[in-house]
């Protein structure tokens, strides 16, 4: 019996929707940004023959911790604006090989493409988040405009940066009580930046790459997109406030404490007075 089209799977449709929205919002110009989605075998098997490997693609990272895991990922050099009209060229369904040195392509990248060059960073980040949250499934990297701008004008101190984001919108503390991690500027696509990002993901779900973009993590697409969306909205408000001459008032620490208590979230220790 023939399989149902991979394009009709809920996880491919989620990838199409999120990449379309990221492009629409201006956060992923050209081939900027990348997304990986950890899938369960029972989610994949109705759509592909698990024994039919199209290609084996070596990766510059020991992914032994992810052996046998399935991911749908965006491709290297692929434009998010093209995913909806040509998902089989711009997305790939991969499985980590038994020795962790490569991935097997089960579907996609039909034009000869390969997974995002940030795949090592994604894999390291997945490994890190799974140690904290066994329900974790999504890593999303995007060039959120106002957050990048703030990385040029604000002190790159996690407490200071997070507080500014929390103070711009009541929703921010509720959505991201664990705050925003920040790494130094590092060359993208390297193991070094992957290791630094994964280390930050042990304590937060959002990591800022200064002058570059944001990495988000979570249990599903909505959670991760919503995290980045909320942080970016607060950064946008901060930009407008500064352009209007600076804040005359703000949400105080005592008000943030009351907000956290009301919504039953725990702000990162030491971030509020």
Could you tell me the residue range of the domain that residue 142 belongs to? Answer: 119-267
Number of folded domains that form the chain: 2
Tell me, what's the pLDDT at 1? 45
Tell me, what's the pLDDT at 158? 98
End-of-domain residue from the set 99, 117, 135: 117
Do 220 and 98 lie in one domain? The reply is no
Catalytic residue ranges = 118
Tell me, what's the pLDDT at 2? 53
Do 127 and 47 lie in one domain? The reply is no
Rounded Cα distance between 155 and 182, Å, is 11
Rounded Cα distance between 197 and 141, Å, is 11
Do 14 and 84 lie in one domain? The reply is yes
Do 194 and 62 lie in one domain? The reply is no
Could you tell me whether strands 206-209 and 181-182 are parallel, antiparallel, or unpaired per DSSP bridges? parallel
Indicate whether 148 belongs to any domain: yes
End-of-domain residue from the set 65, 83, 117: 117
Indicate whether 272 belongs to any domain: no
Strand partners, 174: none
pTM attached to this predicted model: 0.95
pLDDT tens-place values along the chain, 273 residues long: 457 899 999 999 999 999 999 999 999 999 899 999 999 999 999 999 999 999 999 999 999 999 999 999 999 999 999 999 999 999 999 999 999 999 999 999 999 999 999 999 999 999 999 999 999 999 999 999 999 999 999 999 999 999 999 999 999 999 999 999 999 999 999 999 999 999 999 999 999 999 999 999 999 999 999 999 999 999 999 999 999 999 999 999 999 999 999 999 999 999 998
Yes or no: say if 15 and 91 are a contact pair by the CB < 8 Å rule. yes
Yes or no: say if 139 and 217 are a contact pair by the CB < 8 Å rule. yes
Do 26 and 160 lie in one domain? The reply is no
Do 49 and 107 lie in one domain? The reply is yes
User: CATH code at 156?
Assistant: 3.40.225.10
End-of-domain residue from the set 66, 85, 117: 117
Yes or no: say if 210 and 185 are a contact pair by the CB < 8 Å rule. yes
Yes or no: say if 120 and 73 are a contact pair by the CB < 8 Å rule. no
Do 76 and 154 lie in one domain? The reply is no
Indicate whether 273 belongs to any domain: no
Do 113 and 131 lie in one domain? The reply is no
Do 131 and 54 lie in one domain? The reply is no
Spatial neighbors of 248 by CB under 8 A, at least 6 apart, are none
Indicate whether 252 belongs to any domain: yes
Helix (H) or strand (E) holding 15: helix 10-24
């Amino acid at each position: 019996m023939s399989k149902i089209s991979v394009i009709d799977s809920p996880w491919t449709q989620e990838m199409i929707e999120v990449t379309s929205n990221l492009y629409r919002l201006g956060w992923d110009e050209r081939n900027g940004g990348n997304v990986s989605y950890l899938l369960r075998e029972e989610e994949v098997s109705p759509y592909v023959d698990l024994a039919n490997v199209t290609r084996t693609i070596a990766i510059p990272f020991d992914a032994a911790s992810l052996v046998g895991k399935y991911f749908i990922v965006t491709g290297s050099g692929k434009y998010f604006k093209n995913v909806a009209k040509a998902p089989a060229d711009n997305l790939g369904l991969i499985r980590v090989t038994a020795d962790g040195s490569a991935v097997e392509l089960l579907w996609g990248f039909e034009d000869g493409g390969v997974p995002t060059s940030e795949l090592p960073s994604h894999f390291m980040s997945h490994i890190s988040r799974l140690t904290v949250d066994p329900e974790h499934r999504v890593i999303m990297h995007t060039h959120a405009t106002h957050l990048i701008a703030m990385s040029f004008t604000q002190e790159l101190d996690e407490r200071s940066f997070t507080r500014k984001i929390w103070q711009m919108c009541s929703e921010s503390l509720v959505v991201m009580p664990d705050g925003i991690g920040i790494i130094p500027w590092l060359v993208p696509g390297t193991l070094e930046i992957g290791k630094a990002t994964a280390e930050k993901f042990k304590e937060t779900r959002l990591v800022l790459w200064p002058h570059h973009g944001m990495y988000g993590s979570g249990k599903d697409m909505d959670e991760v997109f919503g995290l980045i969306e909320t942080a970016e909205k607060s950064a946008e408000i901060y930009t407008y406030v500064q352009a209007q001459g600076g804040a005359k008032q703000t949400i105080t620490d005592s008000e943030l404490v009351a907000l956290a208590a009301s919504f039953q979230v725990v702000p990162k220790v030491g971030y509020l007075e």
